[in-house]
Structure 1
């Protein structure tokens, strides 16, 4: 069975009720649910939440909410991997939809990923078929400026280079760097269960263009994401991901 897990706790601090706050006319989480469902890549799309209202909204948009997540896995310190492992353990122990076969592929899709499309999930799954030995494929993005030329600033406004030996180099002479896009993490169920690290040589970074990536931690982030989302909805087709390099 191929399972999509969408973690969505109720205790968002910086943007209260972020997971179900209306985003371009729909609850935020609805966009992630619909991307997973419309991709037709998953046998089940499961929302893991500790919140009854989120559970109700998720069910309205077609996700399964077969359990309420324990409060011990819904605090500010609990990581995403622990939530995914809990979902895997629950599905396995309860033999949930066992007729669809044992868990094989498990995707973690963030509830706050409205820029993610069904087509991008399909492309990621196609890449997985080419490299099934990977632990994970996750969404990533190129930094817009060389991080080797970053600066520290003290309380008085004085600055110092983070990497003094790189500050004077040309951008094209520095190694390209990437960051986690925070949209999806596609992995083998065994890799999740064994807590194998997502960011390792056994993972593949599925590169997204910068206009499809936006952290949503503040209201300014939210407004920018809505504008990007409106533009994306008017696109004819999403961009294709770069194919992985052959071994």
Structure 2
């Protein structure tokens, strides 16, 4: 099965300025995902999509096979993830004159994943031939059935989801997970015809919390830097 890895990194980050090329454990943030993809040995092509010339230059330096210039309309704060991946895929296919059967998207802002996470998630997806796609996630700290609340139109707090019985222990609620924005996997036709990451048959690859931090703020960057240094594997 032909596989492409896409890594999509926008230049304009408000939470952490220039985060995709900010140094983390001795190398630019995006370099970690590129090198993980290369070291997995799974991909025919590794493509990086960005609206930033600086990001694309760093991506080329660290071994990306194809660089995709992302148009402005796909690089705003309001741009959804799927159109960006779709654009990256079709641009690469046009450049190379070939199609890819499996698309694996690695988020540059989630560098704490292990190579085995990439390998095992691809294996899980390819073993479940009826699955539409795969997303990664981590066990949730808050449960919508127990201690995650919403405020209704009258201004009162309510549990986000309710069961038929009263729950007094967190251990008694259904398992819930946070999307960790680390790994997304699609078959080509499904990706190009989808408008949501959630499909009728979406698989979940579960990762532990310590490998699931998505950098969206300065405190996230500090946490990831601390964990990377403690683990000693990203230096």
- Fold match by TM threshold 0.5: yes
Structure 1's 20 and 193: CA in aligned 2 closer, same or farther, altered over 3 A?
Answer: same
Query: How far does residue 168 in structure 1 lie from its aligned partner after superposition?
Result: 5.4
Secondary structure at 1:67 match in 2: strand
Residue in 2 that maps onto 1:125: 122
Q: Provide closer, same or farther for how the CA distance between residues 121 and 57 of structure 1 changes in structure 2, counting only shifts above 3 A.
A: same
Quick one: distance in 2 between partners of 1:196 and 1:225? 31
d(CA) in 2 for partners of 1:93, 1:70: 16
SS at match of 2:60: helix
Tell me if structure 1 keeps the 8 A contact 2:82–2:196.
no
Partner SS for 2:103? strand
User: For each residue in 1:107-152, what CA deviation from the matched residue of structure 2 results, as whole angstroms up to 9, or x when unmatched?
Assistant: 1111111101222111112212311221212111111232322245
The answer on whether the counterparts of 1:55 and 1:65 sit within 8 Å (CA) in structure 2 is: no
1:214-225 map, 5 Å: 214-225=213-224
Query: Matched residue of 1:3: which SS?
Result: strand
For residue 160 of structure 1, report the CA deviation from its aligned partner: 3.1
Q: Does 1:81 align with 2:79?
A: no
Number of residue pairs matched? Answer: 228
Change (3 A) 1:168 1:139: closer
Q: Give, in whole Å, the separation in 2 of the partners of 1:147 and 1:222.
A: 27
Aligned to 1:208: 207
Runs of 4+ in 1 over 4 A off after TM superposition: 163-168
1:64 corresponds to which residue?
Answer: 65
Q: Aligned-residue CA RMSD in angstroms?
A: 2.3
Equivalent in the alignment of 1:198:
197
